Amino acid sequence: MSVITEFAIFPLGLEKGLGKYIKKVVKCLESSKYNFSLTSMGTIFETETMEQALTLINETYKVLEPDFTRVYCTAKFDISKTGENRMAKKVESAT
């Protein structure tokens, strides 16, 4: 099974200075065992199960939650019962 997730998460209530909080989210992703790709509009990562994807999103939320009363998150999932390393394969097939 393969779950490719694209998500964006950020705290609400600050006009400037989000970078230091996004860096905390990136460190959380780096400490996970999953490959990820950071983009200007969000992050893409691949897990083996939906539960793993949701757990990782929840872990990034926990990084922000102590400092903020509101956190905004969007997520999209591409779930396939077959295949692995689909994130890289999809990019390779298009280039």
Residue-wise DSSP of 34-92: S-EEEETTEEEEEESSHHHHHHHHHHHHHHHGGG-S-EEEEEEEEEESS-SSHHHHHHH
Q: What is the CATH topology of the domain spanning 2-94?
A: Alpha-Beta Plaits (3.30.70)
Q: How would you write the pLDDT of the chain (95 residues) with one tens digit per residue?
A: 999 999 999 999 887 888 999 999 999 999 999 999 999 999 999 999 999 999 999 999 999 999 999 999 999 999 999 988 898 888 888 98
pTM: 0.91
pLDDT score at 30? 97
For the chain, what are the domain ranges? Answer: 2-94
Per-residue model confidence (pLDDT) at position 53: 98
> Tokens 């994807």 — which residue?
53
Burial class (CB in 10 A: 0-12, 13-18, 19+), 44: middle
